Amino acid sequence: MSRYTIAVTRTASRHSDPDAVIGYDRPLQTFFLQAFPDADGENLELWLGTDLREFETLSRLRTAAIARGFDFIPLASASFTSCWTTMPAKRITRSATRSSRIFSTEHPPADVNPQRK
């Protein structure tokens, strides 16, 4: 899981959370955004990206934040965005099994298809 600190702003009041967290959750294959914790730091006013493939792009994450009355500065840092643009695009679906992943490889293991003469 990758996590970075970012500033998130409530659009109505222009109040910001300079310690919000944005990142990518590999097991869920989604970007996430967490901002505005309560006084105890246990509950968040904004927490997006908790479901499988909920936000597959930063653009979709930002659109969802704006729809809920929040915004963050578009990410322009090359070091920040490059960590996701260089990630492998390989996805494993929930219904995939170990055997289906083995047989979907370009070159099957030697014991799967032995050649007989």
pLDDT digits (tens, 9 = 90+) for 30-62: 999 999 998 888 899 999 999 999 999 999 999
Q: Report in angstroms the alpha-carbon separations of 60 from 40, 63, 74.
A: 29, 5, 12
The confidence band for 105, taking pLDDT boundaries of 50, 70 and 90, is very low
Residue-level pLDDT at 74: 67
Residue-level pLDDT at 82: 54
Token pair 């070159």 is found at 107
Q: CA–CA separation, 20 vs 42, rounded Å?
A: 14
Report the predicted TM-score, pTM, of the whole model to 2 decimal places: 0.65
Q: CA–CA separation, 82 vs 87, rounded Å?
A: 8
Query: In Å, how far from its chain's centre is CA 53?
Result: 8
Q: What are phi and psi of 17, to 5 degrees?
A: -115, 100
Which tens digit of pLDDT belongs to each residue from 60-70?
999 999 999 99
- Mean pLDDT for 91-109 is 36
- State the chain's mean pLDDT as an integer: 74
**How does strand 44-48 pair with strand 70-72?**
unpaired
Q: Which residues contact 92 (CB under 8 A, 6 or more apart)?
A: 101
Of 6-10, 83-87, 92-96, 108-112, the range with the highest mean pLDDT is 6-10
Q: CA–CA separation, 114 vs 32, rounded Å?
A: 46
